[in-house]
Each structure stands twice: as C-alpha cells, then as structure tokens.
C-alpha cells in the first residue's frame, strides 16, 4: 500500500505539472526556474505573528464547512480517503503521501501556482483569484456530480471555491507569492481527513 501510494502521488504531481511546465518552457524559461515561477519557494513573511493567526483562521474557515458537508451530505465510500477506512496507524505513511503530495502538492502547483499566477498577470489579483478558486470549486463539484444531489454539488463547489480563494489570498498577500503556505494548509487538512477515516471518526 505504501509503494502504491508513493507511485500514485508522484504520477499525479507529474500529470498536474505537464501543462504548467510546457507553458513555462515557452514563456518564462529564460527568466525564472520552473519551481520559482510556480511559487514553490520559501515564503517571505513580514509579521510572523499575524501570519500564524491568518494561517489558523483560514484553516478553520476552510475545513469547517468542508468537513460539515462531508459528514452530513457525502457517503464516505465516495471520498478519496475511503481507502484508509479503519486501517489505523498502519496507513499513516500512505496517508501522508496521499494528503501532502498526491492531493496537496499537485493541486497547489496547478491552481495556486500555475492558474492564479497566470490569471493575476492577465487580470490582476482579485479577478485572478476569483477565477482560479471558481475553477477549483467546479473541479471538485464535478468529481461528485454523479454521486450526490445537485444541491449538494453546489455546496461542494462553493465550499471548495471559498477554500481556493482564501488559500490564494494568504499566498499572495501574506507569503510573498509562495505556495508553500497553501500547500501546508491543504496538506494538513487532507491529512486530518485521512486520519478521521483511518480511525473511523467520519
């Protein structure tokens, strides 16, 4: 299970990086390294206390609604974390690969690293952040479209879109454009969801 989780994680990161890499290769190769262009660099934080408060507030604002929707409206069997159900600590390494690399890193590279920065360059921060968060929400809603009522799909789109907006905001306004911050929030949230499945808490 650990090896398969590692392979799945690496494949997903590569797949989510293909379009950004091609774009970077033809438009920015001579200006910046690929990872710096995506914002995968150390955050520059001016006020660490303020940063920590925002990090925690955003984590609660993001995952409170998402966990509520998951608990009341979604069958746990359709969630990605279902494969960890009841496995306890034996699944911890696999869960780390899933939460931090497969979902957290790949989605942050594409949505906050690639899309947000390209949209910002074209339309400015506010419009760019709305566009990337809307796409982030729609993709997550589309994943559940065949399994849940349309009204719940809308809730999923709104909740994940809101999450995407806030993660884009903290990256660009509090982390000097680094996606490390949203990767941290995203990865911790996904790990928390995996732990709940591992110990049958959801």
Confidence (pTM): 0.94
Q: What is the pLDDT of residues 88-120, one digit of tens each?
A: 999 999 999 999 999 999 999 999 999 999 999
Predicted confidence at residue 78, as pLDDT, reads 84
Total Cβ atoms within 10 A of residue 188:
16
Q: Residue ranges of the domains in the chain?
A: 2-15+47-198
Q: How far is 129 from 168, CA to CA, in rounded Å?
A: 6
Specify the length of the chain in residues: 202
Dump pLDDT digits (tens) for 129-165: 999 999 999 999 999 998 889 999 999 999 999 999 9
Q: Provide the 3-class DSSP secondary structure of residue 30.
A: coil
Alpha helices in 116-149 (DSSP H): 116-123, 125-144
Looking at residue 110, what is its pLDDT?
98
202 has pLDDT over 80: no
Contact 47, 182 (CB under 8 A): no
Residue 13: pLDDT band with limits 50, 70, 90: very high
């Amino acid at each position: 299970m650990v090896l398969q989780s590692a392979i799945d994680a690496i494949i997903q990161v590569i797949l989510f990086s293909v379009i950004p890499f091609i774009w970077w290769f033809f438009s920015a190769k001579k200006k910046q390294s690929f990872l710096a262009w995506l914002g995968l660099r150390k955050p520059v934080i001016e006020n660490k206390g303020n940063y920590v408060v925002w990090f925690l507030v955003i984590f609660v604002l993001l995952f409170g609604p998402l966990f509520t929707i998951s608990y009341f409206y979604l069958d746990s069997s359709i969630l990605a974390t279902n494969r960890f159900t009841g496995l306890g600590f034996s699944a911890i390494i696999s869960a780390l690969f899933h939460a931090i690399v497969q979902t957290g890193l790949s989605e942050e590279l594409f949505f906050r690293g690639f899309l947000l920065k390209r949209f910002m360059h074209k339309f400015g921060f506010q419009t760019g952040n709305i566009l990337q968060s809307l796409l982030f929400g729609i993709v997550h809603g589309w994943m559940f479209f065949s399994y849940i009522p349309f009204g719940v799909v809308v809730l999923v789109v709104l909740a994940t879109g809101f999450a995407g907006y806030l993660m884009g905001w903290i990256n660009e306004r509090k982390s000097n454009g680094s996606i490390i911050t949203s990767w941290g929030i995203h990865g911790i949230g996904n790990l928390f969801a995996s732990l709940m499945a591992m110990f049958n808490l959801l």
